[in-house]
Amino acid sequence: MGRIMGIDYGSRRTGLAVTDPLKMIAQPLEMVYTADLKMYLDSYLYEEDVECFVVGLPTNLSGQDTDATGPVKQFIKALKQAYPNIPVETIDERLTSHEAQQSILASGAKKSQRQNKGLIDAVSASLILQTYLQKNS
């Protein structure tokens, strides 16, 4: 059974999350520097079966594209070309970074952890993936 991978793509850092094999729970995987993302995904996919990618699509509060939307759409195109056998879904990622920070704060994390942008990215990817799972259950 394959997993589903959530991706919070950014120009410098990309947060990744995966489901459990039963595709019930999303959990943060890690943050990868975007320059190293292709190499990381190649390695991960060699070890694990991924059935679907879920990429957060940035929009503003009114649902319109933002400055970050174009690069994410380019990434999605490249992802489909690199892994043509793995479907790519998108999900609105409005406010996920804020929700990730609140989730980390609520967990009782130390100040240094709350300010760790890599942790925020990975938790954001987890929230994107959890939203996708809830919408498709």
Q: What domains does the chain contain, in order, with CATH numbers?
A: 3-135 (3.30.420.140)
* DSSP H helix total and E strand total for the chain: 5, 5
Cα 67 to Cα 102: distance, rounded to the nearest angstrom:
24
pLDDT level of residue 103 (50, 70, 90 thresholds): low
pLDDT for the residue 109: 52
Question: Per-residue pLDDT tens for 10-67?
Answer: 999 999 999 998 999 999 999 999 999 999 999 999 999 999 999 999 877 777 877 8
The C-alpha atoms of residue 57 and residue 75 are separated, in whole angstroms, by 11
Please list the residues that pair with 42 across neighbouring strands. Answer: none
Q: Which residues of 50-72 are buried (b: 16+ CB within 10 A; e: fewer)?
A: bebbbbbbbeeeeeeeeebeeeb
Q: Look up the pTM and report it.
A: 0.84
